[in-house]
Every structure is written in C-alpha cells, then in structure tokens.
Amino acid sequence: MVYSESQASTAATSYTITPARLDRSERLLRRSTAWFMLVLLLSGELGSIWDREWHFYVGRDQFWTPPHTLIYLSVAGAGILALTVVLVDTVRFYRGASGVDDNSTVRIFKLFHAPLGFIIAGFGALQALVSAPLDNYWHTLYGIDIELWAPFHMMGITGAAIGNIGMVYIFASEAAIERESAYPYRRILGLSVLEWGALLILAGLINFIFVGFLQFPVATFGLLLIPTYSLPVAVFGALVLIGASRLAYKPGAATLTVFLLAFHTVFEELFVPWAIRTAVIQEGMSYRVPGEIPNFNATDALLPLIFIISALIVDGVAFWRQRKGYQLGGYTRGIWLLGVIITIPQLIIAPCLLLSSIDLPTVFLEQPGVTILPQLRLETALIAVPIILACGGFGAITGANFGDIWRWNKR
Amino acid sequence: MQLPEQTSVIYGAGINDRRGLALEGKVLMYRGKLLLFALVPILACFTALSLLSGIAFASDKPAGTETLLAGPYIIDVNLYQDPPVADQASEITVVPHEANQRLSGSIIEMPGLGTDAVTLHSNLVSLNQTNTLIGSIRMPVRGAWQIIVQLNGPQGAGEASFPVRVAGPGAMPFWMAWLIALTPFVGITWWILHQRRYRQKLLIQTNEQI
C-alpha cells in the first residue's frame, strides 16, 4: 500500500502516516457522476409514468408536454454526463492517471477508454434521444394512441432499459472496487451505499417496465389481439430479482428491491395525479374525457405486490444456500427452474390486481355479447402459460449472468 | 531534481518525458476525433428536432380563404398554410366583412372522423388594433380536422366551422421503420453474447482468487 507523509505540526518533529488513496479523484469522478445520473434516472422515470397518465387523462396535444420535457431533459442530462465521463476518462487513460487503466476501463472503437457502465448508459440515452423525433413523426402519421409495439416506441423503451442496466453496471462496479479496497465504508443493513444505489436502479427497471406494458397491454396484429403485459413482467421480474440477489450476495436483497419498487410506485401515485390536475388548471386545458380526473390509484401503487412472493422465494433459496455453505452466485445450472417457479405467483397475483384497472374480458372481446367457450379459454391458457413461464426462465438465466457480472466486474 | 530538457504537458503524471511526449501527441491527434464523435450525435438530434417542429409564419398573402357566416357576422378566415402540416404551427386570421366591427374570439381544432387526437383550443387576438383577429393553429396528427371559429361582438356570439385536411410528412414504409428501430438490437445481441464470455472470464478469475 502506498502511504503519504503529512507533518502533524510545524513545531513538532513527529510525523503521522495516513493512507492516501491514489485513485481518489477517479472514484470521486465516477461516484459523483453516478449519483447525479441516478437523480436524472429517477426523474426520467417519474416523467414516463406522468406521460402515461397524461396520455390517458389529457391526450397528446404536442411533443413538448410537461412530462415529455421532464423525460427528455433527464435523458439528455444523463447522456451528457455519461459522455463527459467517457471523454474525461479517455484523456485520463492516455495521461496514465491513477485508477484509470485496462483493469478499470474498457476500450471502445479502438480509441475510447471508459468504465463499461458509462458506455452502456450513454448508448442507452443516445438511443432514447434518437427515437424521440422519430416517435413524434410516427405519432404525427398515426395518431396519439399508437401502441407500445410501434417501432419507435420499442426503440425508445429499449434505449431506456439499456440506460438503466448501464447505471446498474456503474454502481455495481464501484461497489466491487469498494469491497476489494482496504478502505472502510459505511453499510446500511449489510449493504454499502453503492449497492443500495444499484438495487434502487433495479427496482426502477421493473417500474419502467410497468409504464408502457400496462398502458398498452394488448398488441394488435390485424385481427389478432394478444395481451402482452405478462411477457416483459415475467422476463424483467426474474432478471431483476435474481440479478439483485447475486449483486448484493445477501439473502433479502430481492425482497428489499420489491420494497424499493413500492417506494417508487407510491411516490409516483402521490405526485402524478396532483401534477396533472395542477397542469390542466394552470395551462387552461381540458380533460380528454370530461369529468374523468386523476386521483391516487391504489392498484397502481400496489403493483409491486405482484413480485413479493417471487422475491421471498429467491431470498429463501439464497438463505438456504448460505446455510448449506454453497455460493450464492457463480452457477447457472437449474436457474431456469427458479425463474419458472417465481413466475407462477406473478401469473396468479397480476390478473387479480389488474382486473380492477384493466377490463381484460373487454380487451379480449371487443364485440359486445360474444361469449368465450370454456374450451377456448383452456386452449388459450395452454398456449399462453408455457410461453410466460419460458419468459420467466429466460429472465432468470439472464439475471444470473448479469448478477454475477455486476458482483465481480470492476471495470 | 533536474528537469529533463524536453518537457511534456503530461510529464509528472507518472509517465517519463519521452513517452509523455509521444502520448501527448497521440492525445492531441485524438482530440479532434473525440470532439467529432461527441458532436455528431448531438447535432443530429438537434437537427431532427428542429426539422420536426418548425413554425410556418404568415406571409403577405394567405394560402387559402374561407368565407363563413358565424351567427350575425360574415367573416373571411385566412389560412397561411393550406393544407396545414401536422405538428407545425401556422397562422390564421379572421377578418369581418364590416370594417367597423371589433370582435373577440377563439378557435377550436376538433379531430374529424378517423383522426386519433384530442380537441385543442387557441385564442384569437386583435392584430395591431385593427378589426382583424389573428391566431395560431397547430394540429399534431395528420388527417381530417374541423376548425371552429367562435366569435363575440356587439351583435352577440356566433360560431362557424370548416373542415381542413392536415397534411403529414411523407410516410415511411413499415419495414423501414422497423429496420431503423431494430438496428440497435444487433448491438444489444452482440453485447449480451460478449457479456456471457466476459462472465466466464470473471468466473475463472474469481475461482483463481479463491
């Protein structure tokens, strides 16, 4: 270890030896930027929920609605911050600054050297920003209620998801560096502050998936009406819960993530209806359906309940492995089965919760008076349930892989 | 300590002077490229945004005129962009036939059949203290719209409407839209595969440490 000597007093002849962190400036750069980006991410997420409700209650009268302004300022801000770190770290790499080398950065385009998380987050932000004018163009052509499965909605939403995952990389890599360094750091409930940040972003990832897929739960392909909200919920539910457990390497991390998700949803439900009512009054607008005014929606606030049993199962498995002396990460064999198992409670809880806000029978049957035969229901379930469970299995494998990387990666 | 004769900007950062000079040259060489890489996407976004949200200003001559009877008032409604283009603000003027009439009013832009949009409102204000009213309309979706002019004046209230067909930008084929939207998925797929290999590498390193 490297030490620096500092003279305790000019009068005294004794010297105190304090450990000096050579990579201090690099840690400061990455961590302060990460926290700023986290704030922008949360505000962008809030803007997304606000936008969903704005569409429903007010309608899309122009591109620069208040929620859109919040979303795109947040995305642009996060993108600029990520780009700044990439450029600064590239220069610092070539200057040979401490803490910026091949072990702490990745090379991209044979020129840039930067932390992996900032590169991923930057690409995500760029993709989301590029999709914005294209999405506006698509709305101009096809109206304000085009589905989520429109090309540029998909482009924007995947960009945002990539940005979220990039942010997890940033916090997780800093947490890994912190764990391996000999310096003391603060822990809350056994987790470092950086690990809390990573779990908060993972919770935000699920929350983000709620935004779009619940707004447009049914995809229309000609005459086919396919309910799709359960597919991303299963994939990202498993990915986030198993990823969180492996990242934190502690039983309880998955349940904690669900509680953090509840914090997101309750806060949004408190803020968004108030924000819409205020904006409508201040801008002199009218509601899309006269008399339909937004208020606190308990169902939306309680959406995290979909994952509570799944999280307890994931934590139960982690606790059992810890008791048996097995590692909590580093394995993928049989993880798909855990993904399938944790998707089953979601399949039961989600429809029960959502029936109060989405009229699923009407969604399936647009023509009034048409009855669904029990045999048809059974056939539909026999096709849909295995696909949803497979999505859960896929999410679990992906979550296990990402979770291990987040635990170990220091770049 | 004696400083070397050849000094470099990055000398002192733990790099010897010769290597420092070489690296300094490299940094300077790359600086232009760095700026270029940074500026291109930003400029592209700004250009796209500015192209898609332009404003059509009133020229001297209106592009189209509708003569309407709004209750007790006969008016000429002038459109300065005909047909109006979706998501572009364009000016509209309302001129009463009776020169001494001072009116006030507003415009309602109501989506017609088959147009998926919401009803919008805008105000009409007096142009330079004359009896001409001026306002701005901006319809965010192409297709059929109904422009409703609501007026108030000495003879009471009056209302008139006329249809407009809002023009949209040239429609991109669906396959091309999906091609553009899905292009990033090539990168995402590559990245996921890369991360799988990276995980294996990290797993080996971690096992070696244990």
Percent of chain B predicted with pLDDT > 70? 70
- What residue spans define the domains of chain B? 1-52, 55-166, 173-210
Q: Is A190 left (phi over 0), alpha (psi -120 to 50) or beta?
A: left
The H or E element containing residue A3 is strand A3-7
CB-nearest partner of B33 from A111, A155, A401: A111
Determine, for residues B10 and A95 on separate chains, whether the beta-carbon distance falls below 8 Å. yes
> Do B14 and A98 lie within an 8 Å CB cutoff?
yes
- Kindly report the nearest CA distance between residue A378 and chain B, in angstroms: 34
Domain ranges for chain A: 22-408
- Please answer whether residues A343 and A388 qualify as being in contact, where contact means their C-beta atoms are separated by less than 8 angstroms: yes
Residue B44 touches partner A, C-beta closer than 8 Å: yes
Tell me: domain B55-166, CATH 1.10.10.10, correct?
A: no
Asked whether the beta carbons of residue B30 and residue A94 sit closer than 8 angstroms, the reply is yes
B137, HSE (Cβ side, Cα atoms, 13 Å) = 29
Question: pLDDT tens across A22-42, in order?
Answer: 788 889 999 999 999 999 999
- Per-residue pLDDT tens over the stretch A99-145: 888 888 999 888 899 999 999 999 999 999 999 889 888 888 888 77
Tokens of B133: 């009213």
Q: Between chains, do B15 and A96 touch, taking CB under 8 Å as contact?
A: yes
Q: How far is CA B171 from CA A141, A145, B174, in A?
A: 7, 17, 9
Å between B10 CA and nearest CA of chain A: 6
Q: Which residue has the tokens 């553009």?
A: B180
Contact list in A for residue B30 (CB cut-off 8 A) is: 90, 94, 111
- Cβ-nearest to B203 among A58, A136, A404: A404
pLDDT tens digits, chain A, 411 residues: what are they?
344 434 434 444 444 454 556 788 889 999 999 999 999 999 998 998 898 888 888 887 778 888 999 999 999 999 999 999 999 999 999 998 888 888 889 998 888 999 999 999 999 999 999 998 898 888 888 887 766 678 888 888 889 999 999 999 999 999 999 988 878 888 899 899 999 999 999 999 998 887 766 655 566 655 556 667 788 889 999 999 999 999 999 999 999 999 999 999 999 999 999 999 998 888 888 888 888 889 898 888 888 999 999 999 999 999 999 999 998 888 888 899 999 999 999 988 887 877 666 555 444 544 556 666 777 767 777 778 888 899 999 999 999 999 999 999 998
- The predicted complex's ipTM stands at 0.75
